[in-house]
């Protein structure tokens, strides 16, 4: 039989994957959409590359959330499908995988599902494409292979068949005997995977994935309240089996653990009308003082020029300098960047070393941080400096609690008389967010730290595919979104390709800001054309809009309520790069959907740079 | 409230954990049994250390599989409990955790469970100990907190209460409201842990933990047979989402993937009376040729002396030398070790480089290996050598397929005239097994390689706690157990403390063999006394037997059918150490229960050696 492998099963760029598959003797490949989007090769070039390697393109995937949805949504789905079928013709792929819908708007109506799939197959046929419909084990209404087959059978279209996947069938414990009732010619594709059986039982969960209270999803505080109402007077004891904690240094893990209990006690007390006296932690924890904005971000570099050149191209001006130290303040709107060339103790790459947080009560914030075991830094960095309260975050970043009117830290700086370039609409208004890679063993600790010490809210963590492994990302923010930090972590402790940090600047006109940057000679991160072809399939744009994004490398995202995000990236200096970002319609996200494309593009630049011997 | 942390939540040795907990400000600790067993401190010394650090010992755990079992078994359990209660008195721990039974012999009888727990509590009271009974979420008959409480209430004993654990309660989705029906003074302990909620759903399983067919637990071949009976003629395609494969090099992963499909096709065909022609893989895979024993193990070292000194102390003699290369054959019984000082290309630590496998058909074995994509090595390592078929395993170990009568490779060696020391009962008979650490990204590949290429059977993988992370181990063996290889892997790609390899030698009298080794001046790995106290609680021994084990550092294990395993370890040379092992009563295991103690003991030796500046 012919053998094939999905590109998602292998690491690296699309071309690396194709080469590896061909060398290992596979006859064909399934092309995974994200691998194509992140590739600089056009679909036609991918087709040629595959042909040269002796590979057929056996499947393009996935197409999702197509069937059994309201008419207007289905019309949009068909529009998207038309784009993809055209792409498949270029790609030389004649079969597309359609996964059973997980769309919340999908209805439980087999006849409607069959009608929609028939219509999709009609369209596909025009492009010479076959549609293979597969039941996802977690499909909203269709989750078993026999159910998917009944719908395919009811649709009765020659270009519609089913796709069987051993994972989806066997993970549900379905009896595969029933497969024999399906005519072989209607099984358009067979995907195979195995999986470790006990991976999901509660025992494995318990022994490998526990974490400290506040780091997971249980309502531990609620449980503790019930226990305390019984009069229980014993200790609160942490019993946590966790594969990562087993490897981490014991000392910081123990601090993380204690902090978790302090925060838990506070949370338990907050929910009680009359909290038991036994609950009061020692020492008493001052109330949260939530930061109201970024006062500054401080970059440290041995050689300031690459950073300051980029800041100047972004429209920043060197508005002030420190009275006694080699630290400059670069400013535009409310975005303030300190560039420090005096704090480099060894040949560190340029990196973000400190963050100033605007606080309604800096001293109260610092007292809380100290009570929650954050390492307190000296109030004065040098004898002549203004006193500032500061603590260290788990990743070593220094956090300064600053007066919201900037009277404190700003006193150490004297104005240069320079002002930023005319800002108008192309200007940067403020720091939108920071993205900071966390030490691998302390990602959960970082989340808890930012929640408990700073009083920020944490969103759910998301997995983001990097060509060489999965990254995890979790955002923390204050309620009005003026302080946002995306905490990220690489795939493994060894993963040294992703230690980048970035500062995202908010602008009201990302297109104008990107143009100015480019015109100032600072290259933007190039984004593959395939990404824009996908955008065209996904959304409708005004005339010329998409071409502008394509020209400048602007990424686009739209949320469920119609909010939009446009963003683009500079090149990387040391460990730091900058993002320009425009939010409209209340979009609160960070463009996680675009992150795999951005990460692949950054890998591509690094590789090209290494090949050319550049920095 | 007082705060406490279980030692299992932190990494390192028991003393490292205690120090970290105290420094972070915890009031007390739960001492996890394995941490105590692996510690060189006596229970009394642990008590003193805790007191010095300002820590109370709030709980000792766990005691398992106590209640609702047949009378004879319960009598043994009480005997074990008596040992532990005495230990707890030394330790200064006044509460013991008893987990609800998972013993297959336990019966679903709450009255019997209550009676047994009452009897246990009676005994505990004599030692000043309280028993806290907890429902494990996967307990055999008792898995909810309210059920555990009903049994405790029915038992009605002042020294018996319940232990609540947020993980066990919330992971089952139990309503914690009912906790308030328990009197606070009967809640003897409260353990807290959080956990990520989606960790166990099928979507996460699907997106992170798929693997290639033959590496997991699904009957993929059975499913494929059903598909083929339909007349399906499309490709077999691998769609595998796997966090490790995403990080691994694409090229070896692709080879691993292809091998998986070749082996799958073979398996599918084997189960069919008339396999479809479409199934036959190209090239046709020759039938498995299962090895029948170890011909030799080859160690490579720049300096042979530390290895040969150890081999001599073990009773090996240098019986032959290679005709043209600096390779010596050291032999005792059927155990043959080649020591090669000529193959070192850089300053590698001493390591195991090659294995000779006795094969009923060396050429057939090599042909199969080649058809299954194993890298084939040159048949002659040097022009003057006898031709031998050899392939490379995924970890780089060279596997030689040798004639079972040793006529082939032995021809390159000439006898020295030396013979091993009198073997009698103290002698080594043969290599029992090899334990080889695998490259982190290729552990699943290694299992599939040994199963498919060598035709060995794989056992389930087991997790083994190392002080600094979890190791995973999976044994492969031939049916009669004359070839056994334990494949192991560390906690993370960075984990470089566990790259040890070892050779286990079978003996009929491990006590005599260990004595001879010690008398020859070769130190055995010292095992903490706590381990032997636990053995005394666990099993009954003849007079003096346990003292002998304690004196020599011999570990002991007994399987369910009464088979026993006695084993001890030498010090490590480079990356290699040796094990002496005696199997009785058909014991087929590797002493996984003892591995955490052995690993901790090896860490302790390394630390001491580093402190003294020794090698």
| pLDDT tens-digit map of A304-346 | 999 999 999 999 999 999 999 999 999 999 999 999 998 766 5
pLDDT of residue B495: 63
Q: What does pLDDT average to over chain A?
A: 89
- CA separation for the pair A125, A94 (Å, rounded): 10
Q: By the CB < 8 Å criterion, does B246 face chain A?
A: yes
> Is the CB of B187 less than 8 angstroms away from the CB of A469?
no
Shortest distance, CA A5 to any CA of chain B (angstroms): 5
Residues from chain B contacting residue A212 (CB–CB below 8 Å): 193-194
Q: What is the pLDDT of residue B46?
A: 96
For the cut 80, the answer to whether the pLDDT of residue B204 exceeds it is no
Contacts of B495 in chain A (CB under 8 A): 247
Mark yes or no for CB contact B243/A491 under 8 Å: yes
Any residues with CB less than 8 A from the CB of A4 and at least 6 apart, and which? A26, A27, A28, A29, A30, A56, A58, A59, B235, B236, B237, B238
Q: Collapsing DSSP states into helix, strand and coil, what is residue A305?
A: helix
Alpha carbons B191 and B137: distance in angstroms, whole number: 14
Q: Please count the CA atoms within 13 angstroms of the CA of A140 that sit on its side-chain side.
A: 17
Residue A282: band (very low, low, confident or very high) from pLDDT cuts 50, 70, 90: low
In this prediction, residue B615 carries a pLDDT of 44
* pLDDT score of A539 more than 80: yes
Q: Which pLDDT tens digit goes with each residue over B52-81?
A: 999 999 999 989 999 999 999 999 999 999
Instruction: Indicate the pLDDT class of residue B246, thresholds 50, 70 and 90.
Output: confident
Which of chain A's residues have a Cβ under 8 Å away from the Cβ of B470? 208, 243, 246
DSSP B417: S
Residue A239 and residue B165: Cβ atoms within 8 Å? yes
Q: Which two tokens stand for residue B2?
A: 């007082």
CB contact under 8 A, B1 and A235: yes
What residues contact A249, with CB distance under 8 A and at least 6 apart?
A441, B11
Q: Is the pLDDT of residue B269 over 90?
A: no
* Overall average pLDDT of the A225-232 stretch: 88
Mean pLDDT of the B478-492 span? 91
Mean pLDDT of A350-363: 95
Mean of per-residue pLDDT scores for chain B: 89
Please tell me the predicted confidence (pLDDT) of residue A89: 96
From chain A, the residues in CB contact with B279 under 8 A are 1
CA-CA distance, B413 to B328, in Å (whole number)? 8
List B residues 127-186 in contact with A (Cβ-Cβ < 8 A). Answer: 137-138, 164-172, 176-177, 179-180, 182-185
The C-alpha atoms of residue A38 and residue A35 are separated, in whole angstroms, by: 5
| Among the partner residues A182, A216, A235, nearest to B2 by beta-carbon distance | A235
Please give the Cα distance from A466 to A473 (Å, whole number): 12
In B403-422, the residues whose Cβ lies within 8 Å of chain A are none
Chain A closest CA to B449's CA: distance in Å? Answer: 15
Q: Which of A402-416, B119-133, B203-217, B368-382 has the highest mean pLDDT?
A: B119-133
A209 vs B contacts (CB less than 8 Å): 195-196, 199
Cβ atoms of B473 and B590 within 8 Å: the answer is yes
Residue A106 — φ and ψ, nearest 5°? -65, 145
pLDDT in tens, B310-346: 999 999 999 999 999 999 999 999 999 999 998 766 5
Interchain CB contacts (distance < 8 Å): A and B: 451
Chain A CA closest to residue B20: A251
Residue B553 confidence (pLDDT)? 96
> Taking CA A178 as the corner, what is the angle to CA A121 and CA A146, rounded to the nearest 5 degrees?
40
Partner A contacted by B11 (CB < 8 A): yes
The interface predicted TM-score of the complex, written ipTM, equals 0.80
Q: Give A499→chain B minimum CA distance, Å.
A: 16
The residue with greater pLDDT, B167 or A468, is: B167
Identify the pLDDT of residue A199. 54
| Interstrand relation of B501-507 and B576-584 (parallel, antiparallel or unpaired) | parallel
Cβ contact A30–B239 (<8 Å): yes
User: What does the pLDDT read at residue B207?
Assistant: 72
Cα–Cα distance for residue pair A350/B107, rounded to 1 Å: 65
Least confident of A155-164, B199-208, B300-309: B199-208
Q: Which of B176, B179, B238, B259 would you mutate first to test chain A, the one with the most A CBs within 10 A?
A: B238
| DSSP category for residue B260 | H
Contact across the interface for B205 and A200, Cβ inside 8 Å: yes
Contacts of B151 (CB under 8 A, 6+ apart): B67, B110, B113, B114, B117, B133, B142
């Amino acid at each position: 039989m012919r053998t094939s492998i999905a590109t998602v099963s292998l690491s690296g760029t699309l071309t690396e994957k194709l080469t590896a598959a061909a060398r290992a003797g596979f006859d064909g490949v399934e092309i995974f959409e994200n691998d194509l989007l992140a590739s600089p090769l056009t679909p036609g070039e991918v087709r040629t590359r595959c042909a040269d390697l002796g590979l057929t393109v056996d499947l393009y995937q996935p197409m999702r959330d197509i069937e059994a949805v309201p008419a207007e949504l289905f019309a949009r789905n068909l529009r998207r499908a038309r784009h993809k079928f055209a792409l498949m013709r270029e790609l030389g792929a004649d079969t597309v995988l359609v996964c059973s819908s997980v769309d919340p708007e999908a209805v439980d109506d087999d006849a409607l599902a069959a009608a929609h799939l028939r219509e999709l197959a009609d369209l596909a046929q025009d492009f010479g494409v076959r549609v293979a419909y597969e039941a996802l084990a977690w499909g909203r209404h269709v989750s078993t292979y026999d159910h998917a087959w009944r719908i395919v059978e009811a649709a009765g279209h020659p270009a519609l068949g089913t796709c069987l996947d051993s994972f989806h069938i066997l993970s549900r414990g379905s009896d595969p005997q029933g497969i024999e009732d399906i005519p072989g010619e209607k099984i358009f594709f067979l995907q195979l995977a195995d999986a470790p059986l006990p991976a999901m039982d509660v025992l494995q969960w318990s022994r490998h994935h526990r974490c400290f209270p506040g780091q997971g999803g249980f309502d531990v505080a609620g449980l503790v309240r019930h226990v305390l109402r019984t009069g229980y007077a014993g200790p609160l004891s942490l019993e946590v089996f966790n594969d990562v904690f087993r490897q981490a240094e014991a000392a910081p893990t123990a601090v993380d653990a204690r902090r978790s209990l302090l925060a838990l006690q506070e949370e338990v007390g907050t929910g009680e009308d009359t909290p038991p006296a036994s609950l009061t932690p020692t020492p008493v924890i001052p109330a949260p003082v939530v930061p109201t904005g970024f006062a500054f971000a401080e970059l440290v570099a041995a050689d300031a020029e690459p950073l300051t050149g980029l800041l100047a191209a972004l429209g920043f001006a060197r508005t002030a300098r420190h009275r006694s130290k080699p630290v400059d303040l670069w400013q535009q709107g409310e975005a303030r960047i300190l560039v420090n060339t005096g704090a480099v103790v060894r040949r560190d790459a340029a990196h973000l070393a400190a963050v100033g947080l605007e606080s309604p009560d800096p001293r109260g914030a610092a007292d809380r941080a100290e009570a929650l075991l954050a390492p307190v830094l000296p109030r004065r960095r040098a004898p002549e400096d203004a006193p500032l309260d500061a603590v260290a975050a788990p990743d070593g970043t220094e956090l300064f609690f600053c007066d919201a009117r900037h009277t404190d830290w700003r006193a150490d700086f004297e104005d240069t008389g320079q002002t930023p370039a005319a800002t108008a609409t192309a200007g940067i208004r403020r720091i939108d967010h920071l993205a900071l890679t966390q030490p691998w063993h302390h990602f959960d600790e970082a989340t808890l730290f930012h929640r408990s010490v700073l009083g920020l809210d944490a969103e759910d963590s998301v997995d983001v595919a990097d060509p060489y492994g999965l990254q995890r990302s979790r955002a923390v923010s204050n309620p009005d979104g003026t302080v946002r930090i995306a905490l990220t972590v690489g795939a493994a402790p060894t993963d040294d390709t992703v230690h980048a940090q970035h500062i995202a600047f908010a602008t009201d006109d990302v297109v104008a800001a990107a143009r100015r940057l480019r015109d100032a000679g600072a290259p933007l991160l190039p984004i593959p054309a395939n990404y824009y072809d996908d955008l065209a399939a996904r959304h409708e744009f005004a005339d010329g809009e998409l071409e502008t994004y394509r020209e400048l490398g602007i990424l686009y995202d739209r949320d469920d309520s119609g909010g939009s995000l446009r963003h683009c990236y500079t090149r990387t200096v040391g460990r730091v790069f900058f993002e320009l970002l425009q939010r409209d319609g209340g979009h609160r996200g960070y463009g996680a959907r675009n992150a795999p494309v951005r990460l692949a593009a950054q890998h591509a630049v690094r590789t090209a740079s290494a090949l050319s011997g550049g920095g």
